[in-house]
Amino acid sequence: MAPKSSGTLRRREVVSTLLSDRGELLVIAGLGAPAWDITAAGDHPRNLPLWGGMGSAATIGLGLALAQPSLPVLVITGDGEMLMGIGALATIAVARPPNLSVVVLDNEHYGETGMQPTHTGAGVNLAGMAGAAGIPRVFSIRGAEEVAPLRRAIHEKSGPLFAQIKIDAETLKLVLPPREGALLQARMRESILGPEAHLA
């Protein structure tokens, strides 16, 4: 039996909308499907798809948002990855960078390991946890019409912002980004800092 999620949105349509007209947007993607999703939308120097470090995506976004307060920073990750680093919601709420958005694509499953259920399918409410942590702008999204307004909110830099988007538990074709971590880091640094990045 195919795994079921309470969500119906298609993950790559959601990500494609969120990354449209991206401008200066910097994107960190959690390992696994979110990394394939942002790559399917078009690989980009300002994408850092993670290959490991499960649980770190949100705090990488935090460090980046603090370092570049004028640029919008978007973390796109999965429910399992967010649960592993859930304390980051409290750290982000306290540090309060207005330019940071954390979007969880919640399919209620660990997709890379055989679609075992995560806690979110059993009622754990990530948006509620983000709000309770003190993150000022929280979205809980199930409808396609809610995604474009979220995209606009991400560019407003009036957060920090957290969004939980319930998506279908579909398994899609892999679209792999480069997996040389030094390249991924260097290209984002260069896109922000220019060639001087490599002389730091």
Closest CB 78 distance from another protein, rounded Å: 16
Determine, following the binding rule CB under 8 A, whether residue 189 of this chain makes contact with another protein: yes
Closest CB 89 distance from another protein, rounded Å: 9
Contact with another protein (CB under 8 A): which of 53, 98, 131, 178?
Answer: 53
Alpha-carbon gap, residue 31 to 77, rounded angstroms: 7
46's CB contacts (< 8 A; 6+ apart) are 22, 24, 25, 26, 27, 188, 191, 192
Contact with another protein (CB under 8 A): which of 10, 13, 43, 90?
Answer: 90
Closest CB 62 distance from another protein, rounded Å: 6
Determine, following the binding rule CB under 8 A, whether residue 124 of this chain makes contact with another protein: no
Determine, following the binding rule CB under 8 A, whether residue 62 of this chain makes contact with another protein: yes
Alpha-carbon gap, residue 97 to 93, rounded angstroms: 8
> Nearer Cβ to another protein, position 138 or 184?
184
Q: Phi-psi bin for 194: left (phi > 0), alpha (psi -120 to 50), beta?
A: left
The CA–CA distances, whole Å, from 79 to 83, 128, 181 equal: 6, 13, 23
Helix (H, G, I), strand (E, B) or coil at 97: coil
Determine, following the binding rule CB under 8 A, whether residue 68 of this chain makes contact with another protein: yes
Closest CB 55 distance from another protein, rounded Å: 7
The CA–CA distances, whole Å, from 92 to 34, 136, 144, 160 equal: 20, 10, 27, 7
Determine, following the binding rule CB under 8 A, whether residue 176 of this chain makes contact with another protein: no
> Nearer Cβ to another protein, position 31 or 105?
31
> Nearer Cβ to another protein, position 54 or 153?
54
Give the pair of three-digit tokens for residue 197. 């990045």
Alpha-carbon gap, residue 112 to 188, rounded angstroms: 26
Tokens 């407003």 belong to residue: 156
Strand 116-117 relative to strand 109-110, pairing: antiparallel
Determine, following the binding rule CB under 8 A, whether residue 199 of this chain makes contact with another protein: no
Tokens 């579909």 belong to residue: 170
> Could you give the string, one character per residue 2-31, with x where binding to another protein holds by CB under 8 A and - elsewhere?
------------------------x-x---
Binding site for another protein (CB under 8 A): 26, 28, 48, 51-68, 85, 87-88, 90-91, 94-95, 181-182, 184-185, 188-189, 192-193, 197, 200
